[in-house]
Chains A and B, each alone.
Chain A
Amino acid sequence: MHELSLLEAVRQQAIAEARRHGAIAIERIHLRIGSLAGVDPEALAFAFEVVMAGSPAAGAELRIQTVDARWFCTPCSAPFTGPSGLCLCPRCGAASGLLLQGRELELSSLQIC
């Protein structure tokens, strides 16, 4: 379960950034999680409250934006989305090795006050 250690990083980085911006409280934490990042967003949401408890980030709301894997198909000269992790172009069937997005594990923004 590396979701726990990831959430510890979320807590640490969110608190540091909130302090740096002179915040009184953290209202919301936004994460961007790629579908090829090897992380289960549901597990993150499940453990979020426990990991934030007792810290200045307790009570913050978690918002996760999942980022579907997206490749570029060279024969079609166009991108395609492969939510199940398959990099086969739905138009022509060619396999693409050009991943455009989908490995994100990112603290994208914070709502603070």
Chain B
Amino acid sequence: MCLDSGSSALPAPAPARLVALGQALLERNDRGAALLRQRFRRDGLPVVNLLSSPGAGKTALLERLGRELAGRGRRLAVIVGDLATDHDARRLAAAGVAAVPISTGQSCHLETAMVARALSQLPQPLSDLDLLVIENVGNLVCPAAYDLGEQLRVVLLSVTEGEDKPLKYPAIFHSADLVVISKVDLADAVAFERQRAHEAIAAVAPRAAVLEVSARSGSGLEALAARLLTPSAPLDPLAPLAPLAPLAPLAPLAPLASLASLQP
């Protein structure tokens, strides 16, 4: 179709030419993500993008995590993406977690514009929170390419899904900073082969840390909480997290020497 549809005169045939562009298709989302990341950093807020297939236990894990954190006086807020219904947000609210639902309609993933809108609906300012989790739409394909400004990307793999799931969805597992094997209380019941799962994760996401948790029994939750609250901690899951040394109070500044005393 002609770009210049308003003109009635026939344009002279123009020679075809190739224009090199190299533009990112997700440029707008990436720009939004950079802004969100800046804002989260300014508020000193760790932000997690939580991804998994539907039913891997994202919401159950967050319910339990919310309770654990509340017990330690830490505040968790969750932005919940769901195709339809606000059931997950209600479940989280019932667990005492501040939750803002995003109904994505037909969209299979969250984008930065949706997250930015949801942030304004949180009941408290970001600086009052200790952890913000963005619970993405249950989907192991589409959300992989969308940066949401998070510091830590966590992909859940439940023991009921099969050990080779990472090999089937390499793109999303490759993007993970942390892979959480969930529902480990069911591992024996489904004859989960732990070693195979760890090998599959290592084959597609060698840089990701791996933790095993159970929202039901609470096992592994402490390590997970520590990891989420300090997203810039070293990636080795086996290394115990060193407690942060308290900042030494700033020494009073020595009075500036007068310019005259600097003269030879």
Chain A positions 9 through 36: 1 when the CB is less than 8 Å from some CB of chain B, otherwise 0? 1100101011101011111000100011
Q: Give the A-B pair count, Cβ closer than 8 A.
A: 122
A1 within 8 A of B: yes
Interface size class of B (residues with CB under 8 A): 35 or more
User: Complex formed: what's the CA distance from A106 to B27 in Å?
Assistant: 9
Contact of A105 among B5, B14, B25, B204 (CB under 8 A): B25
Chain A positions 72 through 105: 1 when the CB is less than 8 Å from some CB of chain B, otherwise 0? 0000000000001111100000011101000101
CB distance B25 to A6 under 8 Å?
Answer: yes
Question: Nearest Cβ distance between residue B54 and chain A, in whole angstroms?
Answer: 16
CB distance B19 to A17 under 8 Å?
Answer: yes
Which B residues between 124 and 142 are near A, CB-CB below 8 angstroms? 141-142
Interface size class of A (residues with CB under 8 A): 35 or more
CB distance A106 to B24 under 8 Å?
Answer: yes
User: Complex formed: what's the CA distance from A15 to B14 in Å?
Assistant: 17
Give every chain A residue within 8 A of B14 (Cβ-Cβ): 23-24, 113
Contact of B204 among A21, A38, A85 (CB under 8 A): A85
Closest residue to B206 on the A side, CB-wise? A95
CB distance A2 to B25 under 8 Å?
Answer: no
Which B residues between 1 and 19 are near A, CB-CB below 8 angstroms? 1-5, 11, 13-19
User: Complex formed: what's the CA distance from A103 to B14 in Å?
Assistant: 35
Contact stretch, chosen from B84-92, B167-175, B181-189: B167-175
Question: Nearest Cβ distance between residue B33 and chain A, in whole angstroms?
Answer: 14
B37 within 8 A of A: no
User: Complex formed: what's the CA distance from A82 to B136 in Å?
Assistant: 28
A50 within 8 A of B: no
Closest residue to A10 on the B side, CB-wise? B25
A41 within 8 A of B: no
User: Complex formed: what's the CA distance from A95 to B204 in Å?
Assistant: 8
CB distance A56 to B203 under 8 Å?
Answer: no
B196 within 8 A of A: no
CB distance B2 to A110 under 8 Å?
Answer: no
B118 within 8 A of A: no
CB distance B21 to A110 under 8 Å?
Answer: yes
Question: Nearest Cβ distance between residue A80 and chain B, in whole angstroms?
Answer: 13
Give every chain A residue within 8 A of B172 (Cβ-Cβ): 38
Question: Nearest Cβ distance between residue A90 and chain B, in whole angstroms?
Answer: 12
CB distance A56 to B145 under 8 Å?
Answer: no
Contact of A1 among B18, B19, B22, B108 (CB under 8 A): B108
7 residue pairs of the A-B complex, CB under 8 angstroms, read A27-B16, A58-B1, A87-B203, A107-B22, A109-B18, A110-B19, A112-B19
Further pairs besides A6-B25, A108-B22, A109-B18: 7, Cβ < 8 Å: A13-B27, A25-B3, A37-B145, A58-B1, A85-B171, A110-B19, A111-B18
